[in-house]
Chains A and B, each alone.
Chain A
């Protein structure tokens, strides 16, 4: 249900960020996308959110063709996605509750329903008693949990997470991953971008490794080269 076919992206002339990229992800999968900095991981995410249009190739998500989707339909497509950004991107002048409620408010849910759902989701991520706090009063791990709460409150079909454990300690990292696994068990397709190979090696999930805008391996668990690499380090 996520399909990339011969996708090319050039930010600058003659320099491909994504080159002849083809990929298929099924409904309900949990997928890691790994690769070095500059490999093109975030670009893939931007293509999925249609922040970016490819120079050529097609991308389909569900029944939507992202090349031809109308601007007026775009918001409704995006509501099927939940996004956890690389650096949380919370609203610093709003409380935890408001940050999560925000996602519901902008799609026009009534405030009565919002209150019930926000409490439920904050329970799920374990931040129920911190709903009044502001982002600056939270640890990095807690901020990321708020970001996840915001991403999942609209019950997305796909959850996209760009380096969700990037700046977190090991305990927080495990908590975040447990959350993402839980969301996946509930039926949401989860795509996690990361360069934390230790994390990836612990879980036996599909790993797509990219380099210079190309897939160089697509395996369950780490490929041989990377397994060797982390054993050495």
Chain B
């Protein structure tokens, strides 16, 4: 019986190849756009998260203040409910870090500055917030505090990323919405045409004593199959091309920053595939079910 339902389902799709093909292509396009959207958004969100957790706000103080006074100012003013952590960085520590990072521990270069810390008086506080979106507000607050000389933070990058994120989400949703509507119309037509073509067969089935389930399920299975193939094809394409595309994009846009690594596809392919397959098969199955119920009765 299951064999029969599947056999008939494939026959239904086979009789109107062009309709079936068009439906699958439209579903594939929607899923493809969804996958691109999903990949980009996942990456940007991970970037933002990385920035949030690794790049903090750096606060520098008036030069005449000593360590005691600085710590005093920080402890009494900096800790708000938005602050996740804050850390005192002495000028010596900053210099050590600088040497390591830029001179690559090449002693001869560092020796040039021997005994003379060029970063003296630049002890600072590094502050991490829970939520990067609070940053602007927080920085403005810090700037008003007496003794604070300068505040460094990466506002522009975050703003750009957030805006890209929003833009891509908006654009993808509009495009996906249009494509899903087209897909629904096409699937509905494919099923309607197939059921018209199979009218004789359905009538004979009915009179021989087939249940409605038996008559209709091949069409619903047909819809599910279209949803399945419409998803699995773009998912495979994305899976195979992801690394290649990511490398090209990074090279072209010079976005290669040491801390901003692209997310590997294995990390999110499962979520992406479940959502794509789940939604497209549900929509296709549902549309087929509605269509075939309207076209056959006992």
Q: How many B residues touch A, CB cutoff 8 Å? A: 17
Instruction: Choose the segment among A18-26, A56-64, A106-114, A167-175 that binds chain B (4+ C-beta atoms closer than 8 Å).
Output: A106-114
B207 contacts A49, CB within 8 Å? Answer: yes
A75 contacts B200, CB within 8 Å? Answer: no
Q: CA of A51 to CA of B297 in the docked complex: distance in angstroms?
A: 11
- Residues of the A chain whose Cβ atoms lie less than 8 Å from the Cβ of B201: 91
Known: A71-B298, A89-B200, A89-B204. A105 touches B1 (CB 8 A): yes
Point out which of B3, B206, B209, B212 has the most chain A C-beta atoms below 10 A from its C-beta: B209
A108 contacts B298, CB within 8 Å? Answer: no
Known: A105-B4, A108-B1. A79 touches B208 (CB 8 A): yes
Residue numbers of A with Cβ under 8 A of B are 49, 51, 71, 74-79, 81, 83, 85, 89, 91, 93, 102-103, 105-108, 111, 150, 154
B3 contacts A78, CB within 8 Å? Answer: no
- Residues of the A chain whose Cβ atoms lie less than 8 Å from the Cβ of B200: 89, 91
Query: Which residue of chain A has the shortest Cβ distance to B1 in the bound complex?
Result: A108
* B contacts with A: majority SS: helix
Query: Which residue of chain B has the shortest Cβ distance to A93 in the bound complex?
Result: B11
* A contacts with B: majority SS: mixed
A83 contacts B1, CB within 8 Å? Answer: no
A78 contacts B207, CB within 8 Å? Answer: yes
Q: CA of A142 to CA of B31 in the docked complex: distance in angstroms?
A: 50
Q: CA of A93 to CA of B201 in the docked complex: distance in angstroms?
A: 10
Q: CA of A213 to CA of B155 in the docked complex: distance in angstroms?
A: 90
Interface residue B210 (Cβ < 8 Å from any Cβ of A): yes
8 interchain residue pairs of minimum CB distance:
A79-B209, A78-B209, A106-B210, A105-B4, A108-B1, A75-B211, A75-B209, A71-B298
Of the A-B pairs whose beta carbons lie under 8 Å apart in the complex, a sample of 24, sorted by A's number, is A49-B207, A51-B207, A75-B209, A75-B211, A75-B214, A77-B209, A78-B206, A78-B207, A78-B208, A79-B208, A81-B209, A83-B207, A89-B200, A91-B201, A93-B11, A102-B205, A105-B1, A106-B205, A106-B208, A107-B208, A107-B210, A111-B3, A150-B208, A154-B208
- Residues of the B chain whose Cβ atoms lie less than 8 Å from the Cβ of A150: 208
Query: Which residue of chain B has the shortest Cβ distance to A147 in the bound complex?
Result: B204
- Min C-beta distance of A9 to chain B, whole Å: 18
- Residues of the B chain whose Cβ atoms lie less than 8 Å from the Cβ of A91: 200-201, 204
Q: CA of A150 to CA of B1 in the docked complex: distance in angstroms?
A: 17
B209 contacts A154, CB within 8 Å? Answer: yes
Query: Which residue of chain A has the shortest Cβ distance to B204 in the bound complex?
Result: A89
Query: Which residue of chain B has the shortest Cβ distance to A77 in the bound complex?
Result: B209
Query: Which residue of chain A has the shortest Cβ distance to B208 in the bound complex?
Result: A103
Q: CA of A162 to CA of B292 in the docked complex: distance in angstroms?
A: 29
- Residues of the A chain whose Cβ atoms lie less than 8 Å from the Cβ of B212: 75
Which of the residues B3, B11, B214, B298 comes within 8 Å of A106, measured between beta carbons?
B214
Q: CA of A43 to CA of B117 in the docked complex: distance in angstroms?
A: 108
Q: CA of A75 to CA of B298 in the docked complex: distance in angstroms?
A: 9
- Residues of the B chain whose Cβ atoms lie less than 8 Å from the Cβ of A85: 204
- Residues of the B chain whose Cβ atoms lie less than 8 Å from the Cβ of A75: 206, 209-212, 214
Query: Which residue of chain A has the shortest Cβ distance to B4 in the bound complex?
Result: A105
A83 contacts B298, CB within 8 Å? Answer: no
Q: CA of A74 to CA of B214 in the docked complex: distance in angstroms?
A: 13
Q: CA of A20 to CA of B123 in the docked complex: distance in angstroms?
A: 109
- Residues of the B chain whose Cβ atoms lie less than 8 Å from the Cβ of A105: 1, 4
- Min C-beta distance of B9 to chain A, whole Å: 13
